[in-house]
Every structure is written in structure tokens, then in C-alpha cells.
Amino acid sequence: MSAAVSQDLREYVTLVVGDYLFGAEVSRVRDVFDPQNITPVPLAPKVVAGLLNLRGRIVTAIEARERLGMPGRPGEAPRMAVGVERNDEYFSLIVDGVGEVLKLDPATIEANPSNLDTTWKDLSTGVYQLDGKLLIALDLERMLDCAPVH
Amino acid sequence: MDDLLSEFLTETAESLDVIDNELVRFEADPGDRATLNNIFRLVHTIKGTCGFLGLPRLEALAHAGETLLGRYRDGTLFPTEQTVSLVLDSIDRIKSILSHLEGAGAEPNGHDRDLIDLLEAAAEGKLKSNSPPAPSAAPVAVPANPAKKPAPANLGPGERWDEDLGRVLRPGEVSLAELEAAFNAVDAEEIKAEPAAAPAPVVSAAPTAPPAIVEPPRVEPTRPIMLEDDADDGARAKGEGPQTNATLRVPVDVLEDMMTLVSELVLTRNQLLQMVRSSNDSQFKAPLQRLSAITGELQDGVMKTRMQPIGNAWKKIPRIVRDAARDLGKKIDLVMEGEATELDRQVLELIKDPLTHMIRNSCDHGLERPDVRVGAGKPETGTIRLVAYHEGGHIIVQLSDDGAGLNTKRIREKGLEKGLIAAADADTMSDAEIHRLIFAPGFSTAAQVTNMSGRGVGMDVVKTNIDAIGGVIELDSRAGQGTVFTIKIPLTLAIVSALILGASGMRFALPQLAVVELVRVSGQGANKIEHIHNTRVLRLRDKLLPLVDLSVMLGLTSAARPGRAQFVVVMQVGANRFGMVVDEVFDTEEIVVKPVASVLRGLSMYQGATILGDGSVIMIVDPNGVSRTMSSATMAAMRANVAETVQQQTASDAISLLVFKAGGEEPRAVPLSLVTRLEELDVATLEPTRRGRVVQYRGQLMPVIHPAGEYAFRSEGRQPILVFTYEGRTIGLAVDAIVDIIHEPLKVQLADSTPGVMGTAVLRGKATEVIELGYHLEMATDSWSFGAAAAQRSVLLVEANPFFRNMMTPLLQAAGYRVTGVDNAKAASAQMEAGGQFDVVLADIDDAAMRAELAETLRNSPAGDSIARLGLTKTDARDPAFGDAVRKTDRAGLLAALDYLVKTQEKAA
């Protein structure tokens, strides 16, 4: 797969959430930063980690673990944020870590396995096989589409 | 110039600019339906408005243009360059007529038969490019007065241009000559400047033509497509564009962006200031101070660009009132004050519609018809006053009429009918509460739907709109005197002053608009949070304030944490006054309200978020949201109670009763107004003595009795105690449990011979024993014999209702009066004849027969003249024989009035 033609490659930022490796399309990612001082919002849905100030802009932090239905992050564990804009609103996806940028050939993407959990199926556009690891391509649009509360 | 006309000019100029551009686009892509529809709609609007304003020339022209566009739209005619040019020409003609209209205030003389004919021909598909209608015919036919001055020199360039193009004259070009001719003809004094208005059509007719060949005088050949600019230049050259000179039209987006940037700048400055303040390095202080000052000025400047006089939102009101008066057959005077009061244009836009709606309401429902007014002894002409002024950081807009006032009865019925209120509540609600029902969704009382209003979208929409901009609306209506609506709105939505609060270790902002005062409370001391069942209240200046806890409301803690010093933010939202308990109050800060992401928008508790000076993000609590969450049954009862005491409303027999259990499961009640305090004391501190229990309470020994007897005290744990103040002493009444506070009319139905029980009443559907407090207190005082108080004033209380008599006796005694209570005039007479010396007669004046009899008794009594009199009433009745009157439930008012009478008596003596 590494022999693919360069102009067709798709770039992914690798994100670590729990024991898994995810990929977010580089073209959608505006910032990668260390989230400081997240202000929790009482009564908000659990998936909203809170609000934070990114260069004077109020950003809604979405907890990736919660969104993926994974157990919460242990207290002092490191976390990183990926800034993504969606419908004129600025979000940051809180993950455990951000890794290198990978160039992958879209032709090698495989459909989600049919037995994958429906939540994950909804949030993933497919799976890449890396050496010894799987990379789950995230659908950022869906990741950030949290049903508003009423 | 007429405001309506000038508004029309501005709007139409904008529309025409859009049409110009859209037409050019449409020509390039005739298949673009959206563009065509947009053009059609705009032309249609212009036509409609012209007809409305009585501008026949413009209307006819727009109509012809619309017809042609209509053919494009239904596909029966395919747009050609030629026909599109024709439409553009008519647009230009409209523009030139408009510029004349702007200068002279009226349409120029003449007509546009030439263009209309061409447009009609084009619409019928009869226009052929190779056989054009004789262009030379038009200029002759068109000028209103061809004999005056036809401007033949200007015809030349038009013709030559066509020659250069190498093709025959197109119909569009006719307009140039015609237009100039027409203009020259009507405006003889402006001949020289006139042609400048016309060149645009020439250019527009051939946007693709090489511009250099155009030779008419004063045309900018290098700007062939800038149609509107050329027209504007022309207008300016003539000095006929007074409205375009002094001001600059800036897109609102630009201003909004600027505002956002300035807001950011303010925040950054605040951040810097905070950093420098905490460091000793003074190197930055001077420049920072300058930066701070400049930022402040910049903020003011940008704010000013957004400020508009509120009069802009009132422009259409005189017309609306006039039309309404005519349609409804009423005579209405409109008085407007404070038109120059400025507020943010965003706010202005948002209150425009609500105001218009309210004005219509006042005309329609508020003011009576002339005959009705005359019948009521009022002037035939009704007055509607619209007043605006600044108050603090807010704008107050007041709309009042001198009409009939709200129809309380009708609103009550309607509220019941629509299920907005429960039947049980309907009788106990005060008039003000009933009136507020008009803000309830879907409420409309108009018996019949009129043209003006009463379509069911009513005051609820108004309230929603005003809530949305963080404003409040209040109303005060008096039968026969009129109604006053008061709207309090923030000056701007961009920056609001907010209180920064702490709750459970988090900070929140609360807009100051809703904050009335701050009260510090602690476990002990005067300001103390008290508990009634699960409800917390604060006794504030003799009124009970229902409390909510911000931490609990936000789910940060599950229960109230007693014993800590806390703050109560007293808030007023509409008629709802309540306290919000918070842990800390930091300071006030000017904050920029930022909307939250859609995922959080459903949370009614927040109004938005903001970034503080220190860079942290905090949530802004929405006072309306807090107010809404306070809607449990207990809260409703408390609210009724608070509204009653706060607003001193008219007739209502309801009183607040404290319901408790003592010595059995059946509920018992006592009037809340008599209770001084609620306590919960450790039974161990209630020390038994030979004469009953006592407790050391606030540095005094307080006797504590249990209505059910000594055996009913708990053996261990804490015992709820009602504390009463009686003749300067405090006495505790121990109970098993406090159940609730209810606000209901009290009717004692079964008299009871049991000592200490006044009777049984049905409260909340349950038979409840009403305690005769006087008995218990006497028991306590007898056993403890406080000793006679010296030099007491004596009061003769004449009150038929045993409940009120029993309620008032201890109250008056507590205030230091010696009270003799009787239930009728005969008994009163007997008391006086028996030699009773009384300083004051306090009499129930609701019963007319008893009142008259008592007045007679007093007149005949030798000491009658020296006895002061005070009336007691449930209905605000007055009787001259009894001077002033006080409401029976108004404890503070009664004591104040008595005190006043006694003092006056002392002075006289």
C-alpha cells in the first residue's frame, strides 16, 4: 500500500483514544493544542466536556471517549485537543493523544466490519490496516453532531 | 420630507441596486430561475409600494416592467439582450424619477408612455430588433412641454453611438434622449446639471461595448458597468442627494464584525490589566493606561455607530394609530416623548415589532369608543403615550393609555377556559397575577377578531421577544384609568454588566438587569435561611422570599448545605421576586455575551457564555430560565404570598397559613403572619422545669409549649419550633413537623369547643384544625407571668369574624396594646357603657349594618370624640366615619396606622 501514487494519498492525523488509533482528515483539523482550563457546563450532555478559550474564541470541547461510549479518562491522564470547525461553530475533540500525520491511499480503506458496534459504525468511515495496528478513520462531521438537549 | 417617503426612497434604492446586478447576472444566465424570481419579487414590491404611496408614474413603469418579467418567468418569452436592456432602461428611468422625487418630494411631470409601449410590445413578443420603433418619435411624444426646451444637443451622442456600434438603435437608447428631454422640460432651472442623471442607460444598454466610443458629456467612459455609481455621481453633481452626502451606508456585517473585534480587544485589555496589576513591573503601566483609554474610546465609538434613536422604530406608529382610529371609529391622541433616546440597532430591530403590536392593542382593546368614554366622564379623545428614557444601563420604554384598563373578570374567565389557571387558584390570584395571564402563550381576549389585533398571536409573542433580548416587561392596569406597560431593555446586547458569582467552586455570570439586591446570610444572625418543609425561604424586611439554590439547580450538589455563610441574590423577573442562593459573590464585570454551540442551546438555564478578564470561560445564567425552574407547587404558593405582600394588591381573602402536624397525623394550621421565626432545636436544650419547658434562645429564656401537651415532645433529636413574639417576649410552639405554607382563603367551617382550637377549615382539600394561638400563648404567659406592661394603650377591636379577631388580638398585644375584642356593635356599646376606657376603636367596616350601628354608638358616647378610629377591611372599602382603613391581612400596615393614630392623639393631648 505504500506504493500508492502520491497525489491520491489522503492525510490523516492519528489520534489515540483508549487502546485505539483513530484518524482525522488533516484538511478538517484547524488546530492541535493542549486543552487548558476547560470550564465544565452543568446540565450539559455528558459528551460536552465543557468550554474553553482558544485565542479569544469560545470552543465547545467534545469528549471523544464519551462520544465513542468508552470509559472516562483517569483523572491525571494526559489529553490533547483537536480543533475542528463545523457549521460555523468551533469544536475541539478531546482525545488521549495526537500522533504523527499519515499519508494513506484511500483505495486501501476497508469498510467497517459488519459486526462493529453501531455507535462506532456511525462515527467511522472505514478502517485502514497499518503495520500491526488498525486505524479507524473518523467521520468528524458525525463525531461533532451531538443531539442538542431540550 | 415625509418619513414614509424617505424610507421608501432608501429601500427602493437598495432594491434597484440589487435588481441591476441581478439583471446583469440573469442576462448572462437566463436559465437562473432564482435570480429571475428575486428580480420579479423586487420589482413587484416597488410597484406595490408606489401604488400605496400614490406615485402613478413609477407604478405604471414598474407594472410594465413586471409584466415583461412575468413573461420571462412563465417561460412564454425568452430573455434577449434587447429586452433585458429594456428592463434595465426602465430601472434607470425609475432611478431618475426617484432622484427627482428625493429632491423635490414629488414625481416629475410627464409620462413614460414610450418606455411602457416598448415594454408592452416586448412582453407581447412584437418587438423586433430589425424593425425598431422609431426612436425619434419618443422624444417628441414624451416631454410634458416640448415647446420649452427639447435639448437637441443631447440627441446627437446617442445616435452617433449607435452608428459606432454599427447597428440600428436599440429601444433602450431611446430613454436617454427622452429622459433628458423630460427632465429639462420640467426642471428648467436645472438644465445644465440635468444630463448627468441620464448617461447610465446609455452605458447599461451596451455593457459589452467598447466604452471609449461613448461621448455624451459628463459620462465616465471608463466605468461602463457601474450603473448605480454613475447615477449617484449625477445626483451628487446636481447637489440633489442630500441624504447620500452626510452619511455613509455601511453594511451591518462590517459593523457587527467591528463590534466583535472591539469586544475582543476589551477582553484582551482587561487581561493585560490584570497581569500588570499583579506584577510590580511598572514599565508597562503607562503605555497600558493609554491602550486602556484608547480601547475605551474605540469601544464607545463603535457602540455609537450601532446606536440609533428609538424614534426610528416609532416612525410608522403615528400612521398606525391614525389608521386604527379611523377604522375603529375612535379618537386617539398619540404623544411620543424621548424619540432621540438611543439604543443599539440590534435591540431596536427586535423591539420594533413588539412595540407596533402593543400600540395596535392599545388602540383596539385599551381605549374605549368616544361614546363610552364620554359616558365614563372622560374626554372623548383617548391618549396613548409612548415614552422612552435611559435609566442606568437600560432603556425604559413605557406605553400607557387612559383607557378602560384590563378586564380582570374577562381575563380570569379566559384563563380558566383555556386551562391556564386552575379553578382553585382563580379566586385567590391577585389582580396583578390575573393581568399577567395576557402574557401566557395563546392568550387573546378579544371577543371578536378585529382587523387590528386579536389574531391569537398576542402579548405572549411580545413577551417572548422581549425576554429574548434580556429585557423585562411589566404591566400595571387600573380599571377605568388605563394600562401602563413598562419595558426595560438593555442598551446593547453586545456588552452587558454582570455579577460574577460562585457556586460549588465554579463561577457564573448573572446579568445585573435582574438583580435587585444582595443579602449576606449566615447560619446565625438576623439574615438566616429558614426551612419550610423542603422549601427554603429568607425573611427579608418582614416578607418571605422564596429561595432557589444555584448549585442545586445546576445539579452541582443534591441538597442545600447548611451552616455556611452564603449570599442571596434577590432577583426580580417580571412579577416573580425570589432569591438565588450562591456561595460567593466576586465582582461585577462588563461581559460580552457569546452564543453557545447548538448542542448547548437547549439549556434554558444559560443565556450564553463569556470570556472573563483572566481568560477563563464562564457560563451566563439566564434569569428567565431560573425563574421558570421555580414552578413547583410550593413555589407557586410562595410566589402568590410574595406577590400579595409585595404588591399590596386589591381584594383577596386569601391569607398565608403555615400547616404543621402536632400530636397526631391530622394537619393543623396557624396564620403565617403571626409566626416570627421557624427554628429546629435539639430536644436536649429544651430544659424541663416545674412550669414547663424552656430553652436558652438568643440570650433569653424562651418558654416552649406543645399544643398537644408535655408528653408530645420528642424524646431525642431535633424538634421544629414556631417562634412567636408576644408582648416583647418570645414563645416557642413545638410541633412534630412543618408541612407546608399555603395561600388560601380561610373559612372556618366547624366551630370547636376544644380549648386552643378555633375550628376546622378545609385547606387543600383536607380538614385542618386551625389553632387558636391566643389560647396557647396565654397558657404560656400565664404560667410564666411576664408581669403587666406599663401604660398600655387600649384598643377596642370590633370584628365579627372570630378568626380575624383571634388573629389580631395576639398581634396587637405583641405590639404593646391592651386589646378587648368583641364581635358586634352591641357588645362594643356595652363595653363602653361599662366604663371601658379605649384609645382606639378598630372596627370591621365591611359589614355596613354593623358599621352604621357602631358609628351611632360612638356618636352617642361621651368619650366618643376622643377615641381614634381605624377601619379594617378585606376589600379596600372606606368609611368616613372610621377615617383610614387598613387591610386585615396587612400586619405591618395595621401597626403603622395604629402607631400613627396613637402618636397624633398624644400630640393633641
pLDDT digits (tens, 9 = 90+) for B847-885: 778 888 888 888 777 777 778 888 888 776 667 777 777
- Which member of B268, B554, B599 has the closest CB to residue A60? B599
Do B232 and B281 share a domain, yes or no?
A: no
Distance CA B786, CA B86 (A): 105
3-state secondary structure of B188: helix
Q: Tell me, what CATH number does B302's domain have? A: 1.10.287.560
Residue B499 forms part of a structural domain: no
Closest CA to B120 of B47, B43, B68: B68
- Burial label for B43, CB within 10 Å (0-12, 13-18, 19+), is buried
Look at residue B42 in the predicted model and tell me its pLDDT. Answer: 82
Look at residue B679 in the predicted model and tell me its pLDDT. Answer: 80
Contact (Cβ atoms closer than 8 angstroms) between residue B325 and residue B452: no
Residue A3 has pLDDT above 60, yes or no: no
Do B346 and B206 share a domain, yes or no?
A: no
Residues 487-506, chain B: which have Cβ within 8 Å of A? 506
Asked which of B490, B523, B539 is the last residue of a domain, the reply is B490
Q: pLDDT tens across A103-133, in order?
A: 888 888 888 887 877 778 888 888 888 888 8
- Give the model's confidence band at B562: pLDDT under 50 very low, under 70 low, under 90 confident, else very high: low
A-interface mutation test, from B265, B603, B629, most A Cβ less than 10 A away? B603
Look at residue A91 in the predicted model and tell me its pLDDT. Answer: 92
Do B201 and B215 share a domain, yes or no?
A: yes
Q: pLDDT tens across B836-852, in order?
A: 778 888 888 877 788 88
B337 part of contact set with chain A, CB < 8 Å: no
Residue B648 forms part of a structural domain: no
Among chain B residues, CA nearest to A38: B617
Asked which of B757, B784, B811 is the last residue of a domain, the reply is B784
Q: Tell me, what CATH number does B18's domain have? A: 1.20.120.160
Distance CA B322, CA B452 (A): 12
Q: Which residues of chain B are within 8 Å of residue A87 when distances are taken between CB atoms?
A: 598
Do B67 and B195 share a domain, yes or no?
A: yes
Query: CA dist B782 to A49, B510, B721, Å?
Result: 65, 53, 20
Residue B131 has pLDDT above 50, yes or no: no
Q: Give mean pLDDT, residues A33-55.
A: 88
B592 part of contact set with chain A, CB < 8 Å: no
Residue B542 forms part of a structural domain: yes
B-interface mutation test, from A48, A52, A53, most B Cβ less than 10 A away? A53
Which domains, and CATH codes, for chain A?
A: 6-143 (2.40.50.180)
Distance CA B590, CA B202 (A): 56
Do B758 and B797 share a domain, yes or no?
A: no
Q: How many domains does chain B have?
A: 6
Q: Which residues of chain A are within 8 Å of residue B268 when distances are taken between CB atoms?
A: 56
Lowest mean pLDDT among B232-236, B302-306, B404-408, B710-714: B232-236
B343, three cell numbers? 439604543
Q: Give mean pLDDT, residues B268-287.
A: 77
Do B735 and B843 share a domain, yes or no?
A: no
Q: pLDDT tens across B393-429, in order?
A: 678 899 998 888 888 888 888 888 877 777 777 777 7
3-state secondary structure of B505: coil
Residue B647 forms part of a structural domain: no
Distance CA B722, CA B697 (A): 13
Q: Containing domain of residue B113, as a range? A: 3-245
Residue B82 forms part of a structural domain: yes
Q: Which residues of chain A are within 8 Å of residue B555 when distances are taken between CB atoms?
A: 42-43
Q: Which residues of chain B are within 8 Å of residue A43 when distances are taken between CB atoms?
A: 554-555, 603, 605
Distance CA B882, CA B17 (A): 76
Residue pairs between chains A and B whose CB atoms are closer than 8 Å:
72
Q: If you average pLDDT over every residue of chain B, what do you get? A: 72
Amino acid at B558: S
Look at residue B785 in the predicted model and tell me its pLDDT. Answer: 41
Do B673 and B723 share a domain, yes or no?
A: yes
Q: How many other C-beta atoms can be found within 10 angstroms of the C-beta atom of residue B224?
A: 21
Q: pLDDT tens across B811-820, in order?
A: 777 667 778 8
Do B443 and B421 share a domain, yes or no?
A: yes
Q: pLDDT tens across B182-208, in order?
A: 455 554 444 444 444 434 443 333 344
Asked which of B291, B307, B323 is the last residue of a domain, the reply is B307
Do B55 and B115 share a domain, yes or no?
A: yes
Residue B496 forms part of a structural domain: no
Residue B645 forms part of a structural domain: no
Look at residue B724 in the predicted model and tell me its pLDDT. Answer: 77
Q: Which residues of chain A are within 8 Å of residue B260 when distances are taken between CB atoms?
A: none
- Give the model's confidence band at B727: pLDDT under 50 very low, under 70 low, under 90 confident, else very high: low
Q: Give mean pLDDT, residues B576-580.
A: 85
B618 part of contact set with chain A, CB < 8 Å: yes
Q: How many other C-beta atoms can be found within 10 angstroms of the C-beta atom of residue B547?
A: 24
Do B196 and B116 share a domain, yes or no?
A: yes
Residue B223 forms part of a structural domain: yes
Closest CA to B759 of B744, B743, B775: B775
Asked if the ipTM is above 0.90, the reply is: no
Q: Are strands B757-763 and B677-682 parallel, antiparallel or unpaired?
A: unpaired
Distance CA B432, CA A91 (A): 46
- Give the model's confidence band at B34: pLDDT under 50 very low, under 70 low, under 90 confident, else very high: confident
Q: pLDDT tens across A67-90, in order?
A: 888 888 887 788 899 999 888 789
Is B619 close to A41, i.e. CB distance below 8 A? yes
Do B831 and B742 share a domain, yes or no?
A: no
Do B348 and B271 share a domain, yes or no?
A: no
